[in-house]
Amino acid sequence: MGANESDLRRLEFVERAQFGSCFIIRIPPGENLIRRIQELLAAKEARRAAILSGIGSLRDVTFRNLAEGVELPVNKDKTIDTKREGPFELVSLVGNLIPMLGRPVTHLHAVLGTPDGQLVGGHLFDATVFDTVELVVAEIAGSRVVKGRDESTGLAEMKIAE
């Protein structure tokens, strides 16, 4: 059974927050990209952050994207994991880090360039830095947003903490 329009509208919210500290980060070769972002931001005590820019190169990439024609709610059976060895040019990386049950959830989307100039992308589920990744990350201050499982979508969605 799919989510109806009134279910989806109740997920909508707007919260005013500010950007706090801005972090310029370089991650060297061989590091797990997502784990290293979480570790570096935890060391700076940044519980919420926006990944504003990311460039560099990646290898051993896994995208987890929605399967064609799926309906809500989503579960793992309605996604497709695509694994690619690379290396790839990291053309664009954006996303956020929001806590869920006290732990950081890193939600990243990436566009990667192949050696022949083609582009691949989507929800970045796992990746290893090939030669470098350079990030610009802004801490989100004054926010009560957390991630929580949403029954309508089946996913971990942002919501205002009670």
pLDDT tens digits along 88-145:
999 999 999 999 998 989 999 999 999 999 999 999 999 999 999 999 999 999 999 9
The answer to whether residue 149 scores a pLDDT higher than 90 is no
Count CA atoms within 13 Å of residue 137 on its CB side. Answer: 25
pTM of the model: 0.88
Question: What would the two tokens of residue 78 be?
Answer: 């309605």
- Stated as kind and residue range, the H or E segment containing 76 is none
- Per residue in 28-63, pLDDT tens? 999 999 999 999 999 999 999 999 999 999 999 999
φ, ψ for residue 42, nearest 5 deg: -65, -40
- Stated as kind and residue range, the H or E segment containing 9 is helix 5-9
What letter would DSSP give residue 155? S
**Distance from the first to the final alpha carbon of the chain:** 28
Q: Which domains does the chain have, with CATH numbers?
A: 20-160 (3.30.1330.80)
